[in-house]
A and B are shown apart, each in its own frame.
Chain A
Amino acid sequence: MELFVGVINYLVFFAITAGTYGILALGLNLQWGLTGLFNIGIAGFYALGAYASALVCGPLPSAWDSRVFGGFGMPFPVGLLAAAVVCGVVALLIGIPTLRLKADYLGIATIGIAETIRLVLKNESWLTNGVWGLQQIPSPLYDPIHKGVGALLRGHADWPSWAHDLTSQAYNWFYLILVLCALLSLYFIMQRLTSSPWGRVARAIREDESAAAMCGKNTFSFRLQSLVLGAMMMGIGGSLYAHYARFVSPSSFEPLYGTFLIWVMLVLGGSGSNKGAIWGSFVVWGIWAGTDFLTRYFPVTATQAASLRIIVVAVLLELVLVWRPQGLFRRGPSH
């Protein structure tokens, strides 16, 4: 029973992370799957959203911090909003000069943007606390839930230990519900968007931009809207991450987690499909977590295990690209 509870608790933690990545994958699906924008700078928006939310909701700078900015102590929804707004604005500013570029160039430009964001987060200590990151990011309803759970457990000291283990994780359950609500809401919004006239135009632009332009559509405006909306979703994902992890630093947003894994998730799930984006994120995160367990049994060091896991995901990506480029969960022809 203990083991079972342990597994359940792990699955909750797993699902929170997979769900957060699912939101990022949905954002990428809007940008790439629907509109054909080659964004390799996901990590940048993810980081921006996390930092924006953390600075807006977090505590004032302490005596040890090098930063002087932030700490407005706002409630969680404000942080979420701030994350979305900051990402949207930055996407707008970036998009205006770069969205006219061809795919190759846009891809390189987005890497550069993500790198620049990371450099700013690392160097501008007055704003972000530099490499030391932001600590003590408040989780929503953390205190009330913990107090309630504590009281419940004290009142029922006779419960078996597995029940204790299960109940003490109640906050994670709450957070999981929060993430799943966000994920499903965004999923439904994306579904409506995809099947709407707006979505049809976006898809037409992806297939053949000059043809769409000749029909009188302002292709640049559509692509910009897509970039901005997708970035806002990624910002929301970042905020959800920050308030769960309760700590962010520039190294939390390595291009690997923030960008590469999301691409593998979308390619595996099926680019162009919202369902595929979500399935893909759970499957790939499952493989990622699974390899974590497996490599514990190999005679390798921790860093070597980490390298092995990345190699596994990279090989997986190549296998999908060669043998099933339309993805696993998508019906119909590939892009």
Chain B
Amino acid sequence: MDALSRIPQLLVYGVISGSILALGGIGVSLTYSILGFSNFAHGDIMALGAYLALGLLALFTGLGLSNTPFGPLSFGFSFTLSFALALGLTALAAVLIDRILYKRLRHATSVILMIASIGVALGLRNVLQFCWGPQPQYYIEKIQLAIAVPGLGVRIKPDEVFIILVAVIVVTFVHYFLRHTKMGKAMRAAADNMALARVSGINTERVILWTWVIGGALAATAGILAGIENKFITPELGWQMLLSVFAAVILGGLGNPYGAILGGIVIGVSEEVSTAFIPTGYKPAVAFVIMILMLLIKPTGLLGRRR
């Protein structure tokens, strides 16, 4: 029973990749609930974040900033700084894309918006490819050793612990923001009923701005963490993850950020555990099959959806 014995380790991998999917999925759910369409460019915004971090890292390294690793992690100060700045830049990019394009299509049908987002996806991806080329790029060259977790019979790398921690912290922030801040509540209100929000005097364009800021920052986080996990990034990163992200979102309930978190973990774990039983080449299909099953059985998702 070799397959079964691998499952605990695959569960660990699943939680790691699931955390990344969850971060990507929250952004998709927020965009869907407030702007009314599924953003097919979200994956490529994740890739944009990853590449911006790469570029900033190169810049800071060139400027002489040190990247001596913090403790057992494989990166140091300049990478952390690049990470933080990349979040801001990606959020800015998301807002700019909205101002240039989606804002002019506010009253268009959701299908037109989706087609437009497919155009953005391909445009972004090829801008990245134009600037950095199609070959894989690395944040860190060294390979990190996994440490055995005492008692559980699994191994995990310090970087991977970092990934999970970051995901938990970010999700907590988002939760706090949505529940306890004025803008967060306004976003939830707009997700419930955009027309009523307007009628109440809420500045809906500002709500939309914040949606892109948060969505962009979350996407960048997911992209960079994916880069840390996979060790390298390519311009195709976003498209490769898109289907799994959408599957997570639909599984949890399209439009429900908490559903995206649950869905992310479930999809992540399912994809990894499936490799014990079916060829790895079919891993993306696992997410797809789960999604289809969900759509057939309970289209509103595990936690229900908005709109």
Contact = CB atoms under 8 A, between A and B. Distances in A.
B250 A108 contact: yes
Interface string B102-146: 001100111110111011101100110110011000000000000
B114 A104 contact: yes
B111 to A, nearest CB: 5
A221 interface: no
Nearest to B113: A321
A126 to B, nearest CB: 13
A32 B118 CA distance: 16
B148 interface: no
A313 B125 CA distance: 13
A109 B295 contact: yes
A119 B115 contact: no
B38 A107 contact: yes
A318 B118 CA distance: 10
B169 to A, nearest CB: 29
A38 interface: yes
B282 A123 contact: yes
Nearest to B240: A115
Interface stretch (B60-68, B173-181, B186-194, B283-291): B283-291
B58 interface: no
Given A108-B250, A314-B123, A115 B115 contact: no
A62 interface: no
Interface string B25-53: 00000001000011010000000000000
B119 A318 contact: yes
Contacts of B115: 263, 267, 317, 321
Residue of B105, B108, B115, B129 with most chain A CB atoms under a 10 A cut-off: B115
A195 interface: no
Contacts of B72: none
Nearest to B254: A104
Contacts of A119: 281-282, 284-285
A310 interface: yes
A322 interface: yes
Interface residues of A, number: 42
A111 interface: yes
Contacts of A310: 122-123, 126
Given A108-B246, A308-B130, A321-B105, A260 B122 contact: yes
B132 to A, nearest CB: 10
Residue of B127, B281, B295 with most chain A CB atoms under a 10 A cut-off: B295
A332 interface: no
A251 to B, nearest CB: 12
B285 A115 contact: yes
B114 A318 contact: no
A123 B299 CA distance: 30
B202 interface: no
Nearest to B283: A119
B101 interface: yes
Main secondary structure, interface of A, reads: helix
Contacts of B101: 318, 322
A74 to B, nearest CB: 30
Interface string A99-129: 0010111011101110110010011000000
A303 B133 contact: yes
A116 B284 CA distance: 8
Contacts of B120: 314, 318
Contacts of B129: 303-304, 307
A313 B40 CA distance: 17
A40 B118 contact: yes
B51 to A, nearest CB: 13
Interface in B186-214: none
A315 interface: yes
Contacts of B40: 107
Contacts of A264: 119
Interface string B262-291: 000000000000000001011011001001
Contacts of A306: 126
A321 B123 contact: no
A116 B285 contact: yes
Given A307-B130, A315-B123, A321-B105, 6 more contacts: A98-B295, A108-B250, A306-B126, A311-B123, A311-B126, A318-B120
24 contacts: A38-B111, A98-B292, A105-B299, A108-B246, A109-B295, A111-B243, A112-B288, A112-B291, A112-B292, A113-B288, A115-B285, A119-B285, A264-B119, A267-B115, A304-B130, A306-B126, A307-B126, A307-B129, A308-B126, A310-B123, A310-B126, A314-B126, A317-B119, A322-B101
